Amino acid sequence: MNALAPIRHRSLHPRLARRRPAGHPDWCAADHRCGLGEHRAEPVTLTVPGRGVVVLTRVLAADGRQHVEIRTDVALAAGDGAARAHLTHILIELEGHLRRVVRQSHVRT
Ligand SMILES: [Zn+2]
């Protein structure tokens, strides 16, 4: 698989997004994922087939704080040395990414 291949994206169908009971934010999935005062959106999944997946879920916590949960699964390079080097690369990239997206949270629109 080419690492530069298009990333596949999957999110909630717009027709399903309109169907939710009262009391939930308009972006909330309003299903079994909500509970104990927490609301969760339908996850958005980015996939590079056979290589990696990123799943983002918007969350409104019971304390009113809004955040995104991000789960990542990346296939590591084969062999222990290559896997360790790959992990180092991932860590460096994620640190830079984290710093960039945290900066964005202070941008006002
Ligand atoms: Zn909800």
**24 C-alpha to center of ligand 1: Å?**
4
Q: Torsions phi, psi of 43, nearest 5?
A: -65, 150
Tokens describing residue 73: 């699964």
**58 C-alpha to center of ligand 1: Å?**
11
Question: Given pLDDT bands bounded at 50, 70 and 90, which one contains residue 23?
Answer: confident
Question: pLDDT tens digits, residue range 54-94?
Answer: 999 999 999 999 999 999 999 999 999 999 999 999 999 99
Tell whether the model's pLDDT for residue 2 goes beyond 60: no
**6 C-alpha to center of ligand 1: Å?**
32
**55 C-alpha to center of ligand 1: Å?**
18
**25 C-alpha to center of ligand 1: Å?**
6
Question: Given pLDDT bands bounded at 50, 70 and 90, which one contains residue 1?
Answer: very low
Spatial CB neighbours of 19, under 8 Å, sequence gap ≥ 6 = 30
pTM assigned to the model: 0.73
